[in-house]
Structure 1
Amino acid sequence: MDFSLSEEQVMIRNMARQFAREMEPEALEAEEKSEFSHAITKRMAENGFLGMVVPEEYGGMGSDYTSYLLVIEEIARASMSQSMVVGLHNSLLAYPLLVYGTEAQKKKYLRGLATGDMLGCYSLSEPNAGSDAGGIATTAVKTDDGYVINGSKIFSTNGSVADFLILFAKTDPDLGYKGMSALLVDTDTPGFAVGKIEKKMGILASPTCELSFTDVKVPHEALLGEEGKGIRIALETLDGGRVSVAATGVAMGEEAFDLAVKYAKERNQFGHPIADFQGIQWKLADMRTEIDAARYLTYYAAWRKDQGLAYTREASQAKLFATEMASRCIHSSMQIHGGYGFMKEYKIEQLYRDCKAAELYEGTSEIQRTVIGRAVLKDKS
């Protein structure tokens, strides 16, 4: 079993690492202002980060999923907000377009995603349909000319800056989740509106919005895949998204660890660096062990995806462990920093706020445990 990265993967990781560290001060400024940075997004696109998994024929890099994870890890270490753009474009938007899109849809939207000329949004959650994705109430009524959409969405990442959405709606409400379909909606379509932009605990430079649809008309060609296949598209897409979120968990854990090691070596108490004390060393040992375990779970899920193997359980395992690991490691790092860690001038304070979201979006930890539990019981039946 080969755990080493290829030369190309090492090159990609190093390029992303250099970019991330150079970008970090600007990202911090955007975070402090709670502003989306079009300038950083443009530079990420120029470096190919927004189209990592998009084939070269559509303007992307055509990379494997592991290479993409190497990039999002480095970006997330510098800024979770900026990693949201990379993750959204590669895992939640590019995948369903690649698998279910028509050639015309791919040419229009994939190329735009990869080059950064178009920003996208994945719009699934609703006020009464979070973990129960099949319970959405937004409708898309079929007409002679296309579909008429009515409803509302919440927690839509980058919805206020998006040029288009992958929207999930009921084309046949009587069929329940089997009546869900996916549609491509341009945000300049009459009847579409951005509602409240949420005030959040963390990840402040990535807008999270309410969206509303009032008699929004789209052509038949806006349908992504087949009618009634929306739940399948949504869940398949979320599998890849969960591996991506797991990688950001690894990134946050790694960043918290490095900050803790640096501070423990520099901070002197009782005549010694606190790194000399066994209590600190044990915290660092636990952090290092958990980070490595999370990374291997994440890379294994990515490997299965790249090999075309089933990876739903592995994706949930990676997301569950990596995101909860990040919270534990960040807490330990905060304890090592002591009172200074509570101050905004220390980065661990921002990580402490940012990390919680990863345990919630693209399926809460409880949903991941449900997915894993059902899978292992099915395997043993």
Structure 2
Amino acid sequence: MDFTPSEEQAAAQGLAARIFGDLSTHERLTAAGTGTDAALWKELCAAGLPAAVEDVGLLGLVLLLEEQGRTTAQVPFAATCAYGLLAVAAHGTAEQRERLSPGLRDGTAVATGAFPDRGGVHLTDGALYGDVPWVPWLRDATLVLVADAGRALWFVDTGAPGVTVEPVETTAPWSAGRLVLDGVRGERLGNGPETYASVLALTRTAFAGLQAGVCAGSLARAVHHTVTREQFGRPLSTHQGVQLRAADAHMDTEAIRVTAYEAAWRYDERRAYEAQALTAAWWASEAGKRVVHAGQHLHGGTGADLDHPVHRHFLWGRQLDAYLGCGGEVLEELGRLLADSRPGEAS
């Protein structure tokens, strides 16, 4: 395995780091409230970053999402690229790729996903019925990828008759909404459960990469605080307890990163990657939760300030923990996958 970024991946990551770093500031995030930063999203699309994902692959997307996570930028980048561009590229027909991809590349279309199974959507007489309690970035989306009870995937136009989007506030400000479907005709993507499993593993890997960035950003803020803040005449960072807590957080962050890299690399190399995606999701859920708690704790009383930037990392980390599936649930699914696999299949 070689996780060294290609020239194209490194260039895209550098551009993403500059745009997110320059524009996703604490002041702009505060002004955005719980909504999306439309100007930042426009800038990312104008720079061609969503479009670049088709060239740099899932590993490249993980690198880009790390940069988003570092700044907790409020844009539907992860959802559009994972549930939209890469899902269509891998499983769409030639006609679907030609019709859907241009809008997803330039930002005139925004995609998201209404799965893993978070609600009861079923197919009756060719139409979709049911609801999903919360879907990330649904309030921004023009397309939502829905899974029915048979684990077939359907693209649904959020402006179509029979589609209702109700605003929902989640732990992190992800412009989420409740999706209600009442006799909606969807557009089939792929070939059923196999496509469902592939897209689910893809998106878990992408969101694990996002969590790696969230944790790295939280830890960087904690390091800066403990180095510059003094207690009894010396920096907080000189205390052994602080050093050990930061070191543990660093190791957890690296574990999230490397497992996400492995799953993404295997996807790009057309190798089995579902077990690796679940492993990355488990680390992102369990370790991510520990890291953002440590980041807040290392800020001391400052970390209790809800308006402090580190608190935003805490909210994102907890939201990603819930979205990826709490650690025990993911571990149980991984155990079933390994138990059901023939020797060599999941490795």
TM-score by length of 1: 0.83
> 1:348-372 CA deviation, whole Å, 9 max, x = no partner?
1121122111112143323320232
Amino acid at match of 2:44: M
Opposite residue 51 of structure 1, the aligned amino acid is A
Equivalent AA in structure 1 for residue 95 of structure 2? A
* Structure 2 counterpart of 1:213, from 181, 190, 202: 181
Instruction: Quickly say closer, same or farther: Cα 1:70–1:27, change in 2 above 3 A.
Output: farther
Aligned with residue 139 of structure 1, among 115, 119, 123: 123
Cα shift at 1:3: 4.8
Quote how far apart the aligned CAs of 1:306 are: 1.0
Q: CA 1:277 to 1:181, structure 2 compared with 1: closer, same or farther past 3 Å?
A: closer
3-state DSSP of counterpart to 1:212: strand
CA RMSD of aligned residues (A): 2.2
Residue of structure 1 aligned with 2:170, choices 190, 200, 206: 200
Give the deviation of 1:112 after TM superposition. 0.9
In 2, are the aligned partners of 1:169 and 1:181 still within 8 Å (CA)? Answer: yes
Q: Does the CA contact (< 8 Å) of 1:334 and 1:348 recur in 2?
A: yes
Shift of 1:280: 1.2
Name the aligned partner's letter for residue 214 of structure 1.
D
Indicate if the aligned counterparts of 2:214 and 2:313 stay in contact, CA closer than 8 A.
Answer: yes
Aligned counterparts of 1:373 and 1:322: Cα–Cα separation in 2: 17
What secondary structure sits across from 2:179 in the alignment? Answer: strand
For these two proteins, the number of residue pairs brought into alignment is 342
Contact 1:52–1:90 at 8 Å: present in 2 too?
Answer: no
The answer as to 2:269 corresponding to 1:320 is no
TM norm structure 2: 0.90
2:189 to 212, 224, 227: 224
State the one-letter code of the partner of 1:19.
I
Aligned partner of 1:65 in structure 2 is 58
Conserved in 2, the CA contact under 8 Å of 1:138 and 1:152? no
Seq. identity, %: 22
Aligned ranges for residues 100-115 of structure 1 at < 5 Å? 100-115=91-106
Residue aligned with 2:211, SS: helix
| The structure with more radius of gyration | 1
Q: Give ranges in structure 2 of 5+ residues lacking alignment.
A: none
Shift of residue 80, structure 1, vs aligned partner: 5.1
- 1:373 corresponding residue in structure 2: 335
The residue type paired with residue 159 of structure 1 is L
In the TM superposition, residue 123 of structure 1 has moved relative to its aligned partner by 2.4
- 2:110 is matched with 119
Q: CA deviation at 1:186?
A: 2.0
Determine the structure 2 residue equivalent to 1:255: 217
Among 72, 80, 93, the residue aligned to 1:89: 80
**What is the identity, as a one-letter code, of the residue corresponding to 1:167?**
V
Q: Distance in 1 between matches of 2:109 and 2:302?
A: 41
Distance 2:336 2:129 in 1: 34
Does the residue aligned with 1:90 lie in a helix, a strand or coil?
helix
Distance in 1 of aligned mates of 2:86 and 2:3: 26
Find the counterpart in structure 1 of residue 300 from structure 2.
338
